[in-house]
Amino acid sequence: MDRVKRTLAPYLLVLPGGLWLLLFFAVPMVTMLSLSLQEGDVVNGFVFTGHWQNYVESIADYQTQLIRSLVYGAITSGILIVMSFPVAYWIAFYGGKRKATYLFLILLPFFVSFVLRTISWRMLLTDDGVLLHPLKEAGILPDDFQVLGSATAVIAGLVYSFLPFMVLPIYVALERIDPRVVEAARDLYASPITSFRKVVFPLALPGVFAGVLMTFVPASSDYVNSELLGSSETTMLGQVIQSKFLSSSDYPSASALSFTLMALLLAGIFAYARSLGTEDVMKVAAR
Amino acid sequence: MRGRFRLGGAQVMHAYTWLLIGWLVVPISVMILFGFNDPSGRYNQTWQGFTLKWYGEVFALEALTDALVMSLIIAVLTALIAGALGTGIGYALGRFRFRGSGGLNLLMFAAISSPELVMGSSLLSMFVSVGISPGPVTITIAHVMFSVSFVAIVVRARVMTLDRSLEEAAADLGASGWTTFWKVIFPILLPAIFSGVMLAFALSIDDFVITNFTGGTTQTFPMWIWGATRVGLPPQVNVMGTMIFVGGVLIAVISNIRAGRRRVAA
């Protein structure tokens, strides 16, 4: 009896949460896949016809937005690596007793609602806003200077939104480095630059990869920043999917686009997860 | 010479770190500042004078207050449900070896790393297909779905570091498995469970994208703000945002100090 209880215990513990994930994460993905192959409209209902042309047509219609989303996402992650590395490095090696405090300060934006943070940026960047108006008055910027609505504004917003997700994993990777390894490199006459390039950076790479994973995915699928800070020139795929789902109820082609985006993103993630092991990525993600 | 060069680099990075923190704080300061603004028109965009009146009238806009209350109710429910379910998963994964644990890890990993846009739209696809109309219930279902894995990971990490001799000692003293869990293990896990619950609460109250897809016309705090951006945000939004910010920071700081004390005591 006791042994039966022992073997059953983990399953009973896992059952409610596991079912919840299965029912509201895995099953919906299948439903969406099915919906993406259906035909019809919201009034007469949708019928499954294996209509794979939904994919061909919607990708052809929105390839500009699809490519733009991936490009914005890639640029965002690239900028974030360069911006975050020195900070993560300094906190990991020179933060001393205040490491936790510095990390907390990096996390401060998360205490403000995502939408509200982005609206604050819009207020700052708006043509006659708190930031640009004084700069124009002082003659530092030309009167017709405009940044809101540009790709720069959208990417800057994305960089701001996801910065902590890059700093934290790089910090975690750097923090694990044994300082003696770096000392050994120096003792073997490696210059500071060589020891960084050959020792520190390779050891930090898992963190950089995790950071890319945690910023590229949300950045390239985001629609809040491009909606609030961009214009019709910067429309991202997320906006298309959102309006097809919520305004025009064009579910099949919205599902096809959504699935395409996820397939592209997940293909990259799983290739990476396999090369590194899921456990490790999860551990980094959990910090 | 070598030492001086390194010190110089460190100082530059130190200054840069503070510069970056300053940049991160800019929009937060703007949000807080404009809660004290006294705008003449509908647009709270330019600074026109200091006032405290919005703090007095913070709940004057009924629809906004309702949205905030809705957010709080959903966040509390999410925290409780995800806390319970996530603790179950986290304890099982940390304590037992069992068939299917690999698949469960993979499912959690997929749920954490999938784009919110895709999770939200696929849930909406399912609700539409099954004929469930979106509302507060579907929002809560969705929020529990995306936060349960985070709770599980936090709890699992604590369970893995548990000293198994504690259980053996309890068993030697004649405690049953059930008693041991509630009297010995659970109290030790409680801080981890609490952090998981707080994390779920924070994820839920801030969520916009998934709520946008699964909520229909239900107004939560972020949804209301999103809808109101086109007509201009009232200063009450800034005041509420400031209150959430200050509350969140206080809770984080206090629980951190208490965790530090526990570490010192232990």
- Tens of pLDDT, residues B101-142: 999 999 998 899 889 999 999 999 999 889 899 999 999 999
Q: How close is the nearest chain B Cα to the Cα of A276, in Å?
A: 14
> Residue B1 — pLDDT band, cuts 50, 70, 90?
very low
Is residue B4 scored above 50 in pLDDT?
no
> Residue B9 — pLDDT band, cuts 50, 70, 90?
confident
Which residue range forms the structural domain that includes residue B200?
62-233
- pLDDT at position B13: 92
Determine contact, residues B67/A148, Cβ cutoff 8 Å: no
Number of CB pairs, chain A paired with chain B, less than 8 A apart: 259
> Residue A8 — pLDDT band, cuts 50, 70, 90?
confident
Does the residue B212 lie in any domain? yes
Q: How far is CA B143 from the centre of its chain?
A: 10
Q: Name which of A35, A112, A105 is nearest B221 in CA terms.
A: A112
Does the residue B124 lie in any domain? yes
More confident residue, B243 or B170: B243
- Contact list, A282 vs chain B (CB under 8 Å): 105, 108-109, 112, 153
CB nearest B245 (choices: A17, A104, A111):
A111
Does the residue B137 lie in any domain? yes
- pLDDT at position A131: 79
Does the residue B49 lie in any domain? no
Does the residue B27 lie in any domain? no
Instruction: Tell whether A218 is within 8 A of chain B (Cβ).
Output: yes
Does the residue B200 lie in any domain? yes
Judge: B117–A238 Cβ closer than 8 Å, yes or no: yes
Q: How close is the nearest chain A Cα to the Cα of B69, in Å?
A: 15
Instruction: Tell whether A271 is within 8 A of chain B (Cβ).
Output: no
Q: How close is the nearest chain A Cα to the Cα of B210, in Å?
A: 11
Q: What percent of chain A has a predicted confidence (pLDDT) above 70?
A: 91
Judge: B226–A115 Cβ closer than 8 Å, yes or no: yes
Does the residue B252 lie in any domain? no
CATH code where residue B90 lies: 1.10.3720.10
Q: What is the mean pLDDT of residues A255-277?
A: 79
- pLDDT at position B256: 80
Q: How far lies B38's CA from each of A205, A245, B34, in Å?
A: 49, 39, 8
Is residue A46 scored above 90 in pLDDT?
no
Q: Given the structure tokens 């619950």, which residue do they identify?
A: B197
A45 phi and psi angles, rounded to 5 deg: 90, 165
**SS3 state at A115:** helix
Q: How close is the nearest chain B Cα to the Cα of A60, in Å?
A: 20
- pLDDT at position B118: 94
> Residue B5 — pLDDT band, cuts 50, 70, 90?
very low
Does the residue B78 lie in any domain? yes
Q: Which residue of A has its CA nearest to B134?
A: A246
Q: Name which of B151, B219, B232, B131 is nearest A119 in CA terms.
A: B232
Q: Does domain A59-286 have CATH number 3.30.70.260?
A: no
Q: What is the mean pLDDT of residues B224-248?
A: 92
- Contact list, A10 vs chain B (CB under 8 Å): 92, 95-96, 98, 101
Instruction: Indicate the number of domains in chain B.
Output: 1
